[in-house]
Amino acid sequence: MKNKLLLFLLATFAIIPVAQAADIIGTIALSGTPPAEVPYTPLMNDPTCGAMYKTTPTTHFYVVGPNHGLGDVVVYLKDVTGKSTGANQPPVVMDQKGCLYQPQILAIQTGQKLVVKNSDSCIHNVHCVPKVDGNPESNQVQMPGGADLTFSFPKPEMFITFKCDVHPWMFAWVSVMDSPYYCLTDKDGKFDIKNVPPGKYVIEADHRKLGVLTEDVEVKDSNVTSDFTFNIK
Ligand SMILES: [Cu+2]
């Protein structure tokens, strides 16, 4: 009897077609020469912060790999909302180290925690200024060795500014997604949006300085590729 049931179950599952999720993978490239990065001169003029560097650090707005891959691009499925799994995901961590935010481009989901650490021996304050209604502005002091700060946002929003009012050169930009279908490109411009259900989508690539590119994509039952190129004239 048990064996018959098992056979029945096996047969049943064998003939039900299962909709397979697949990955959208690709590379974002930059064509052209980006503007020069800006040295953090005011940082070096601050006795505490400047003492942590031998040479002046610079911004890294344009992270370009050896094959022109562009890092720090937020790639996500446009208009896919209400699918956040953020409440169940581990926190994303941002540190304050060397009087700079590390990293400076981040992405989280709605309801997911962003934990901010202070690894420096000086005071910082963490001041986020969202623009979308429902996302709270918050301004919290963080002493050296102070407890971690936690931020969370209920609404999707691109590039929420985080800044330090003590050190006016300190900025980070946090994008809030309303689904798990997003990815930040790595230093070689590569991304992998995992486990996307079959369907037709618009995929959007958003770089804080270079703007937005979109492309239609259809996910069936195997991985699809979608590549983008940002142009600087
Ligand atoms: Cu600071």
Ligand 1 centroid–CA 86 distance in Å is: 28
Find the 125 Cα to ligand 1 centroid distance in Å: 6
Distance CA 71, CA 52 (A): 26
d(CA 59, CA 52): 16
What is the whole-number distance in angstroms between the Cα of residue 117 and the centre of ligand 1? 12
Whole-structure pTM value? 0.91
Distance 211 CA to ligand 1 centre (A): 28
- HSE on the CB side for 216, CA within 13 Å? 3
In this structure, the number of other CB atoms found within 10 A of the CB of residue 193 comes to 24
Residue 233's pLDDT is 85
Query: Please, which residues have CB less than 5 A from ligand 1, an ion?
Result: 124, 164, 166-167, 170
Ligand 1 centroid vs 43 CA: distance in angstroms? 10
Kindly give the distance from the C-alpha atom of residue 208 to the centroid of ligand 1, in angstroms, as a whole number: 22
179, 176, 126: which is closest to 148 by C-alpha?
126
Indicate the SS3 state at residue 183.
strand
Would you state the pLDDT for residue 7? Answer: 60
Per-residue pLDDT at 44: 98
**Which residue's structure tokens are 């590119």?**
213
State the distance from the centre of ligand 1 to the C-alpha of 116, rounded, in angstroms: 12
Residue 165 Cα to ligand 1 midpoint, Å, equals: 7
Centre of ligand 1 to C-alpha 154, Å, is 26
Query: Could you state, in chain order, the average pLDDT of each consecutive group of 10 residues for the chain (233 residues)?
Result: 60 60 97 97 97 98 96 97 96 98 98 98 97 97 96 98 98 98 98 97 98 97 96 92
Separation of CA 36 and ligand 1 centre (Å): 24
